[in-house]
Amino acid sequence: MKALVQDLQLKGLQRRMDKIQTPVAAVVIMACNRADYLERTIKSILKYQNAVASKYPLFVSQDGSDPQVREKALSYDQLTHMQHLDSKPVQTERPGELIAYYKIAHDMEIAPDFFDYFEAAAALMEKDKTIMAVSSWNDNGQKQFVHDPEILYRSDFFPGLGWMLTKSTWNELSPKWPKAYWDDWLRLQENHKGRQFIRPEVCRTYNFGEHGSSLGQFFRQYLEPIKLNDVQVDWKSKDLSYLMEDEYIKHFAEILKNAKPINGADAVLKASNVQGDVRVHYKDQPDFERIARQFGVFQEWKDGVPRTAYKGVVVFRYPPPRRVFLVGPKSFELLGIKSV
């Protein structure tokens, strides 16, 4: 949390922290200049956070000095307002209070199982240090590409838009945290090779903000159709051990091997006429972009990684429940799969 406290009284923060008996994570809403968006986000979070407030203290971290944003944040007794004035990190008065931080943009709504999902994922991160962050987002999470709200994936691409770090990871990264978003974050990711991200198939956050960075055609094509999970998944009963690094690579490789290969042109038509999961191999980035364009999923790469990819493989449903795997030229080698 890059902020210097202005409106926050440290004694007030101490009183709030004194009430927290078993904290799991601080929930931090990143706000700037849209008080109406902030209000919608706060209401969405409080709808599910009130019952578990002792585990998930809520903060609004304001970037800038918009008076309406400040007034809106301060109108809620259930949260603590902070304001960014420089790059010095906030220090609480007791070390070790929180084991993780969630970060949420001020134009997000959350799913009913948002907190249970992250609590289960926090336990996973504590066990597997190769997980850099857990996200509530899937870039290819549009309604037409998802099916199972209980499925989680590992990814080499930072999903963003509602994510959680352990406190130890934040302490490691905060001194060099980038000010820009995608490009600088992914350069930072390159300096921590071998660490990956957890993402859901069905999103636990929904980005409703068409203004700012989410404009026009991009919003209508990629953000507006996102499916926000509406199922109360019992994450406490789920065995997530398959997401541990050593287990997951075998788990994912087996699923991929069993998918039926599709070759040649008209991948969409061929996929629609095959029973079960399918895989389509691409040769390079232009070839990937051509195939992704046919299906309508994200074509974008950052620093050599396609959005949502794991070992160069992008997976989505088309049509649900069939899974389509777009497989890179080195994916089989990276997954330890011999030619099949």
Alpha carbons 286 and 126: distance in angstroms, whole number: 38
Structural contact between residues 152 and 272, judged by C-beta atoms closer than 8 angstroms: no
Q: What is the dihedral of CA 320, 231, 100, 184, to 10 degrees?
A: 30
Render 231-300 in DSSP notation, one character per residue: S---GGG---GGGSHHHHHHHHHHHHHHSEEE-SS-HHHHHHTSSS-EEEE--SHHHHHHHHHHHTS---
- What tokens appear for 238 in the block? 């789920």
From CA 244, how far away is CA 315, in angstroms rounded? 19
Residues 6+ apart with CB under 8 A from 81: 7, 8, 59, 60, 62, 70, 73, 74
Give the distance from CA 286 to its chain's centroid: 26
How far from 117 is each of 136, 150, 202, CA to CA, in Å? 8, 10, 12
Q: How many residues are given for the chain? A: 340
289 vs 57, 113, 211, 314, CA distance in Å? Answer: 42, 34, 27, 12
- The span from the CA of 191 to the CA of 241, in Å, is 26
**Do the beta carbons of residue 115 and residue 236 sit within 8 Å?**
no
Judge whether 115 and 46 are in contact, CB under 8 Å: no
Q: Which two tokens stand for residue 64?
A: 């800038």
Which residues participate in catalysis according to the annotation?
183
Q: Which of 282, 279, 281, 288 is nearest to 316 (CA)?
A: 279
* Cα separation, 237 vs 264, whole angstroms: 43
